[in-house]
Amino acid sequence: MTSTSLHELTATQLIELYKSGKATPVDATRDVIAQIARREPELQATYAYDPEGALKTAEESAARWKNGEQITQGGVTIDGIPTTIKENIATKGTPVPFGTAATPLVPAEQDAPPSARLREAGAVILGKTTMPEFGAMSSGLSSIHPLTRNPWNLKMNPGGSSAGAGAAGAAGYGPLHVGTDIGGSIRFPAGWNGLVGLKPSLGRVQIDPPFMGRCAGPMTRTVDDAALMMAVLSRPDPDQRDWMNLPPADINWTDLDMDLTGVKIGLQLDAGCGMPIDPQVIPPVLEAAKAFEAAGAIIEEVAPWMTDEILQGLNRFWSIRAAKDIADLPPGHREKILPIFLEWVEPVPGFTALEGYRAFQATVDIRKLTVAATKPYDFMLSPLSAHISFPAEWGYANNDVTRAHDQIGFTVPYNMSEQPAVSLCCGYDTNGVPMGLQIAGHRFDDLGVLRMAKAYEQMRPAMRPWPM
């Protein structure tokens, strides 16, 4: 047993301790459980938390490690690593409320693909993490979950919709967390909590139910740990429930070395839409660009390709989908929804069929424009968002329901284009909350994006101590 606080360690570090016999999965799980007990009353990041079940799984893993029979898949192991799963990713026997009290609480009949892959790999699943109303807000505001806060500054928002995963990762609730992303929902809470958050290429990680732009991916404290998770999460689903999945690919996820000489990087400093740029977000991105350039990369500034018209079209399309989900609820359940969410969908009945089609057309336009704008470059570099941290009680970054998704101008293009994108910490704002750098690549080049993130992780200034 090591004297180090095990909840502070990465998955990579824990595995080395398990191999040497200096710590066991039970030791690590107990330490994480103790950390959750310390921080959860103020963070409120968990749902369906199951410490007893986690300890049982940890004991089974410890026995495998003792006998040299730990589970290894694709040359890696996460056997015995404390892990959380976002609330909207089904785990057998647990209801999936999607962040709202309006959803009937029916236990899931089976694990969704990401949950199944983690369980097969021997991960110690501690429980689920919180999300906002229907997953459609960049915050931790929900009608069923308590308000989730940012551990770097409890007055501030953790970001969403993978709000609980972001807070849990920064606060030491284990090293491995999985979120979902349809417009930035992995990358925002990862960036604003100092984590590494990868939105893979659409279909790389199978998910159920699939939807246009919807991805599941890792949220971890290091790029190495994100790579470990991808080696597990990207394994095929025997049931083939994701009809938008990519075919299995032979990817060595832990091969993260990269020569930056001649790598062509597009630098985007203006989203072209949404919220105005806060001056705090630009300097760390420029410093990152300088670091890549010093390492041999070629940097070229790129003009924005998104417009307010397109972004508002997408917002309209999503509000139509949300209105459909609300209409499908049983009688009496609509009243349980947060008023701010109902306000967002209120205009939908007044839309004409033509307006609805034009709203859908925004998804096509974003894809076309993003692929064209990024084609000349190997990778893209940008701020995660135009804005800095905002109060925990706000549902949206601008607290304006009429401009509900103005914060996603840099992130959502890569959901619609199906390209991989990662966020990681590049500095801190005046509230002491991390700011995010986004790195995007061409479709299918998930490993390249992780390699770029690893390169930046090694070049960036030292991070502040984790808020554990």
User: Which of 53, 16, 11, 57 minimizes the C-alpha distance to 253?
Assistant: 11
Tell me the fold of 6-233.
Answer: Amidase signature (AS) enzymes (3.90.1300)
DSSP 236-249: PPTT---TTPPPP-
Q: What is the CATH number of domain 264-310+351-458?
A: 3.90.1300.10
> Beta-carbon neighbour count of residue 252 at 10 Å?
12
Q: Convert the pLDDT of each residue in 364-406 to its tens digit.
A: 999 999 999 999 999 999 999 999 999 999 999 999 999 999 9
Q: Pairing mode, if any, of strands 379-383 and 298-301?
A: unpaired
How far, CA to CA in Å, does 202 sit from each of 124, 172, 199, 450? 26, 29, 8, 16
pLDDT of 240: 93
Q: CA-CA distance, 193 to 190, in Å (whole number)?
A: 5
pLDDT of 2: 47
Q: Where in the chain is the domain with CATH 3.90.1300.10?
A: 6-233, 264-310+351-458
Q: Convert the pLDDT of each residue in 313-347 to its tens digit.
A: 999 999 999 999 999 999 999 999 999 999 999 99
Q: Convert the pLDDT of each residue in 19-61 to its tens digit.
A: 999 999 999 999 999 999 999 999 999 999 999 999 999 999 9
How far, CA to CA in Å, does 67 sit from each of 7, 25, 70, 221? 24, 13, 8, 29
Cβ pair 125, 146 in contact under 8 A: no
DSSP state of 108: -
**Dihedral angle at the C-alpha atoms of 395, 226, 311, 99, nearest 10 degrees?**
-30
How far, CA to CA in Å, does 422 sit from each of 11, 269, 449? 19, 16, 7
Spell out, as residue ranges, where the chain has pLDDT lower than 50. Answer: 1-2
The beta strands (E) that lie in 173-306 are given as: 176-181, 196-199, 215-220, 264-267, 298-301
- Quote the Cα angle for 291-292-293, to 5°: 90
pLDDT of 1: 44
> Beta-carbon neighbour count of residue 177 at 10 Å?
34
